[in-house]
Chain A
Amino acid sequence: MLGIDAARRPGRATFRLTHPAVSGVVRPRLILVWLTLAAVAFGVFCTAIAFGSGDFPVALPDVVPALWGSGDPATLFAVRELRLPRAMVALLSGAAFGAAGAVFQTVTRNPLASPDMLGITQGAGAAVAAGVAFGIGGGLSSQTLGLVGALTAGVLIYLLAWNRGTTGYRIVLVGIGISWMCTSLTVYLVSRMELYQAQKILGWLVGSLNDRGWAEARPLAFALLLVLPILVLLTRLQRTLLLGDEVAAGLGTPVQRTRLALVLSASALAAFATAATGPVLFVALASPQIAQRLARTPAPPLTAAALTGAAIVLLSDLISQRLLSDMVIPVGVVTGVLGAPFLLWQLARANRAGSGG
C-alpha cells in the first residue's frame, strides 16, 4: 500500500495489518522524541537516586542493579527505602502535571490553559489552608484535603462554564475566576492564622518533595494507571476538537461528552499530583509547550508532555536538593526558575524560524 502518494508524506508513516485489521499513522519524529525524553527522564531518575539527599554515597552504575534488588545491604537500603520513593513521587507527579496540562491546552485550544492557571491547583491550596486554619477534618492529611479541593475546583469550573454546552474560552475564563477566588480565600485564611500555622501552609504552597514517599506515590500511581489509558483512547476524538466544535460535531465527535471526559480526567490527574506534592507551578503549563515544540505537532502531544513533566520535576528536585549545600530549596521554586527560561528560549527560537509561537 506504500505505493500511494499519501503514504509517503514526510513526517508520517502508515502501518496496516490485515489480521487483526489494525491500522494507523505513526510519526517518526514523535516516536524519536518519546524515546529521547524517556531516556532523559530515566537518566535523571537514576542520577537523582545516586546523588539524592542524605549522606550515603551511591555510585551511579550501582543504581539500576539496586533497583532490581542486587547490591550490598546499605546501598539497597539507601536506594530502595530512602531515595526511590521520593524519586517516584517526582516522576509520577511530573508526568501527571504534564499530561493534565496537555489535555487542558488541547481542550481549550489555548496554550495558557493549565491546571495551575485555571484554579485547580488553587482549589487544593484553599482546601489545605482551610484545613489548617479551622482544623476541619482534624484527621485528614493535607494530601486528602488537597485532593478534595482540587477535584471540587475542577468540577466547579466545568459546571459554571456550562451554558447549553461548554466552550474552550468559557472554561478558561471561569477557571481564571475560580483561581482568583481560591487565591483570595487562601490569603485571607493565612492572614488570620497563628504564625506557626502560616509557616506550615506556606511550606505546602510552594510545592515540595521533602518527606514524600510511598504514601504519596501509591495513590498517584493508581490515578495515572486509571486515567492515562482513558486519555490515550480519547486522543482520536480529541484531535477533531482542535478543528473547532462545529467541525468536530460534523465529523461525528460527541463534542460535549468528549470534553467532559477530558476535563474531568485532566482535573483528576492534576488533583492527585497536587495532593502529593503541593502546587509545583509551571510544570503543567510548560511541559506540553516544550513537548509540542520538540515533536513539532499541531497540538501538545500527551505522552511526550507527560515524559517532559517527569524529567523537569526530577531534575528540579535533584537541583533543589544539591544546589545549596546547607539547605533544601522547595522544588516548586526550581521548576519556575529552570522551566521559564527554557520555554522563553524555545519561543524565541521558534519566532526566528518564522513558525511563530
Chain B
Amino acid sequence: MTFLKSRMPAPAQDALPAPDLRANGLKLAYDDRVVVEDLDLVVPSGQISVIIGANACGKSTLLRALARLLPPRSGAVHLDGRSIHSMPTRQVAQRLGILPQSPVAPEGLTVTDLVGQGRSPHQTWWRQWSSGDENAVTEALRATGMLEHADRPIDELSGGQRQRAWIAMAVAQGTPILLLDEPTTFLDLAHQIDVLDLVVDLNRHEGRTIVMVLHDLNQACRYADHIIVMKSGAIVTQGSPADVIDAELVEDVFGMRCQVTPDPVSGTPLVIPIGRHHR
C-alpha cells in the first residue's frame, strides 16, 4: 500500500510553460436544466485545487466543462489563452488529462495496455510505441506502485489497485494539468488515503496542477492547497482551507450543523458533524 516515493520520476514537462486554465462567464446545462450560471474561475497553477459542495451542486459538471467534455451554453474555458472548445481535442489532451468518475475497462485488458492508452494523444498510426511512450509508461507504473502488477488484467485487481492503474494511465499522458472526478469513490478508507497521497506526490514531485472533486470534507481540507466551495451552481468562496472552512460556511453550504477544530495530524480544518442527537 506504500509507494516507491524515492523513485519518483523527474518532472515530465520541464520545457513546457506553466499551464493556465480558467473559466469565464460559464453557463452549463443539461437539456433545459441549467446547472451552472455565470461562473468565473482561475485554476491556481502548480497547486492542488479541490472542489467541494453538496450533491447536485454542479461540481462534477464544472470539472467536465473544464475538461471540454461538456460544451458550455455560454462563456468559455480557456487553456493557455485559447478557448478549449476551439482547440483540436488531441492538442488539449497533450496539456490536460481527465479521469472521469468510475471508468470501466474491457475485460482482459492488462494494466500495461491500459496505461499505454495514456500515450494516445502523443501517437500517430505509424508511431505507436516510441521510446518516449515506453519511458512514460514505465515511469507512470513506477510512480503509482503498479510495476509489479503490470501484466495483470484490470478485472483481477482490487478496487484500490484498479484506481491506481487508471491514475497511472492519466499520469502516462504526461499532461501538466490533471483533473480527477472523485478519485476515491468506492474505495475503503486506507485506499482513499493511498490514492490521495499519490495525488500529492504527482503535485509535489512532478509539479502537476491538480483539480479534483472530493466528497469528504476533511480529506478535501487536508489535501487541498486551494479549496473551491460550490452551492447551487455557483462558487460560494475559495481559498486555502484554513481561511475558508468554518462552521458557518459548512452549515450554509451543506445544511449541516458542525464544529470545526484543527486536525490533530495536519492542522487543517477538521469538520465534525453534530447531527440531531447531540448538541
Contact = CB atoms under 8 A, between A and B. Distances in A.
A81 interface: no
Interface string B98-116: 1110011111111011101
A354 to B, nearest CB: 10
Interface stretch (A39-47, A141-149, A204-212, A246-254): A246-254
Interface stretch (B128-136, B216-224, B231-239): B128-136
Interface in B128-147: 128-131, 133-135, 137-138, 141, 147
B150 A9 contact: yes
A9 B106 contact: no
B90 A247 contact: no
B129 A23 contact: yes
Interface string A2-15: 00111101111011
B130 A6 contact: no
Given A12-B112, A240-B117, A243-B103, A7 B134 contact: yes
Contact of A244 (B68, B100, B123): B100
Residue among A16, A23, A240 facing the most chain B CB atoms (10 A cut-off): A23
A253 B120 contact: yes
A239 to B, nearest CB: 7
B183 interface: no
A195 interface: no
A169 B94 CA distance: 29
Contacts of B44: none
A297 interface: yes
B275 to A, nearest CB: 36
A22 interface: yes
Contacts of A356: 107
A254 B85 CA distance: 12
A251 to B, nearest CB: 4
A188 B137 CA distance: 58
Contacts of A73: none
A233 B125 contact: yes
Interface string B18-50: 000000000000000000000000000000000
Interface string A206-240: 00000000000000000000000000010010011
B207 interface: no
B268 interface: no
Contact of B127 (A1, A23, A355): A23
Contacts of B127: 21-24
Nearest to A27: B113
Contact of B137 (A6, A249, A252): A6
A254 B91 CA distance: 11
A74 interface: no
A298 interface: yes
B117 A250 contact: no
Residue among B113, B116, B135, B150 facing the most chain A CB atoms (10 A cut-off): B113
Interface string A333-357: 0000000000000000000000110
B97 A250 contact: yes
Contact of A236 (B89, B97, B120): B120
Nearest to A247: B103
A102 to B, nearest CB: 14
Interface residues of B, number: 48
Contacts of A253: 89-90, 120
B120 A14 contact: no
A249 B69 contact: yes
A45 to B, nearest CB: 30
A1 B106 CA distance: 29
A7 B137 CA distance: 10
B121 A251 contact: yes
B100 A246 contact: yes
A243 B117 CA distance: 9
B147 A236 contact: no
Interface in A31-85: none
B173 interface: yes
A242 interface: yes
A220 B63 CA distance: 47
A79 B256 CA distance: 84
A252 B93 contact: yes
Interface string B240-267: 0000000000000000000000000000
Given A14-B129, A25-B128, A247 B108 contact: no
Given A12-B112, A250-B100, A6 B141 contact: yes
B57 interface: no
B194 to A, nearest CB: 22
A86 interface: no
B67 interface: yes
A331 B164 CA distance: 50
Contacts of A15: 129
Contacts of A239: 117, 120
B22 to A, nearest CB: 19
Interface in A299-357: 299, 355-356
Nearest to A235: B125
List the 6 closest pairs (A to B, CB-CB), nearest first: A252-B93, A252-B121, A252-B90, A250-B98, A298-B109, A246-B100
27 contacts: A1-B131, A5-B147, A6-B112, A6-B138, A9-B150, A10-B151, A16-B129, A20-B126, A21-B126, A21-B127, A109-B106, A240-B117, A243-B103, A243-B104, A243-B114, A246-B64, A249-B69, A249-B89, A250-B67, A251-B173, A252-B91, A252-B120, A252-B121, A253-B90, A298-B107, A298-B113, A355-B107
